Structure 1
């Protein structure tokens, strides 16, 4: 699964935010939407749909950089790569909420909220973890499963880019009347 990734194609996003809802549900304590909306603290999404160029919706999430600036500056070592191969995952028990990771993130996708597993703690870093717990159960990430337009997909990176390149090349050489 190391070569697989969540691929975002913002040109297909309609701004419905189903990805955000299902992401929050997948990261809730109870894992069901009906119960998740009653949890305290409320589960938060790890993907954010906001205005992009020309005001069009843009789904933004962690790009799992390598090397990851957030991981490099994390003083307590809370952003880890040893939990699931290829993913930078926040260990909520180690995070001290110092915000160093957010200051270095070039994509501005790290947020800070109380986490349901430790609600007494003021705040912890919240970022996309690739839904590694779903992957361990043979499921795809919640945002990709929820997206009906294909703006967010779970695919093998090189295979996706090969198809996209071939599609682009084919459309570039079509004769238009």
Structure 2
């Protein structure tokens, strides 16, 4: 299963992902021309600023399974893509803007805007669709493509998790090695517990030999 993996510690809040997302979902697919479209395209990813300077979190739909939004939709406007069942889509023409999906979304990523694909360009629910049209053409999601600090990665979820786990493990081991090199002796209580453990191990070994 492929997904967009977020590294919040890398995000600097430049919002290029938001711009790229809006353009990718515009009618013209052109940065300059999309500004003049009616209704104007809106991003489906939201780089919310953090509390510290130059920090942010790019928040987007996680395409949950099971998806609460899909469960509560009264018009079945929210369904999984047939060719990409890991992706949850909203069919604009079926949406009645009841906001039930937004109420149950655990990540608060469903917004409401006028959409060209809706009947009469009505205001309907809008969320990330993992750039499914781009994926069908062999491209990566627009937000991932433009991110300059690799805060967004696209790939098989298990591989991305494994890569992140390895990276964090290496960072922790380096930190521990640095701290350990500065310690000349173990605290008395730690040293005592280690000696006790060694003694117990020795006694157990002798007992097994005697048996």
Say yes or no: TM over 0.5.
yes
The match for 2:46 is: 48
Q: Superposition RMSD on alpha carbons, in Å?
A: 1.5
Whether contact under 8 Å (2:118, 2:124) holds in the other structure is no
Residue in structure 1 matched with residue 8 of structure 2 by the alignment: 10
Which residue is equivalent to 2:147? 147
Q: Secondary structure in 1 aligned to 2:162?
A: helix
Unaligned 5+ segments in structure 2 are 182-211
> Counterparts of 1:62-141 in structure 2 under 5 Å?
62-83=61-82, 84-118=84-118, 120-141=120-141
Structure 1: runs of 5 or more not aligned:
none
Write the deviation string for residues 112-156 of structure 1: whole angstroms up to 9, x where unpaired.
001022372431100000000000000000000010101111121
With structure 1 as the length reference, what TM-score do the two structures score?
0.93
Cα distance, 1:172 vs. partner?
A: 2.0
Provide the secondary structure at the position in 2 that maps to 1:124. strand
Where does residue 27 of structure 2 map in the other structure? 29
Instruction: Pick closer, same or farther for the CA change 1:88–1:106 going to 2, 3 Å.
Output: same
- The Cα shift of 1:32 comes to 1.0
- Give me the TM-score of the superposition, normalised by structure 2: 0.79
Which whole-Å CA distance do the structure 1 matches of 2:17 and 2:69 have between them? Answer: 23
Q: Which moved more, 1:10-19 or 1:164-173?
A: 164-173
Structure-2 residue corresponding to 1:59: 58
Q: 1 CA distance for matches of 2:164 and 2:18?
A: 25
Aligned residues: 175
Deviation at 1:76, TM superposition (A): 0.3
Bigger drift between 53-62 and 154-163 goes to 53-62
* Structure with a larger share of its residues in helix: 2
Write the deviation string for residues 68-117 of structure 1: whole angstroms up to 9, x where unpaired: 10000000001110343211000011111111000000100000001022
Bigger RCO (CA 8 Å, 6+ sep): 1
Of structures 1 and 2, the larger Rg is shown by 2
Stretch deviating more after TM superposition (47-56 or 102-111): 47-56
